[in-house]
Amino acid sequence: MNSSPKPISDIRKEYESDKLDIHDVKEQPIAQFQSWLSRALQAELLEPTAMHLSTVSSQGKPSGRIVLLKSVDYGLVFFTNYNSRKGHEIAEGQFVAATMFWDKLEQQIRVEGTVEKLTDTESDTYFHSRPYKSQLGAFISPQSQVIASRAELEEAWQKAEAEYPEGSIIPRPSNWGGCRIIPSYFEFWQGRRSRLHDRIIYNLQIDNTWKIERLAP
């Protein structure tokens, strides 16, 4: 006989795999981010580049969704349909927040900042590096728009597949491309025993230097 699942209020996990000291973090938050991301990639987690992206509408309504981090330079790069809900909300307000959580490493990173579009050349390069079916999906999908049925998507797919068979060059839709989060805030969170977690933050200053501080858990 199966026992009843425990109430969610009773679910507990003790974090004790690592620690984070303010004297050990790197001077630049992007370098610290890349260090942690590298470790997550090496750990072969299920979705190490999954990033929860939060945007806010012009009416002040927040929304969130998972996007995939595709590169890191002076910011964090992801790709989307600019006509999607997140695309419109980014255009309206530009400010976003992103969170990455790696449960096996007991680590979380929070990022806040503004967004800039990648150049057409950058977006073209990435679009045509994607698998054929991923390109086709982006080409035919009116992301976040109401559609009558799945059959509508499948019909659009078949039409595009006939027009652009595998091996041909699918034109990147002008409303699909890259976005770069330009960070002004980072928080690196390391789970610790008894909920006394380590939280190290980086705040961008007026002179473009980063102030590093510890937060209470």
Distances (CA, A) of 68 to 77, 99, 155: 9, 11, 27
Given 130, 172, 195, 214, the catalytic residue? 195
| Tokens describing residue 65 | 């969704």
Greatest alpha-carbon span in the chain? 65
**Distance (Å, rounded) from C-alpha 99 to C-alpha 107?**
11
Answer yes or no: 192 catalytic.
no
**Distance (Å, rounded) from C-alpha 61 to C-alpha 55?**
8
CA dihedral sign of residues 131, 36, 16, 213? negative
Residue 127 in contact with residue 172, Cβ under 8 Å? yes
**Distance (Å, rounded) from C-alpha 90 to C-alpha 55?**
7
Residues annotated as catalytic (active site), given as ranges: 195
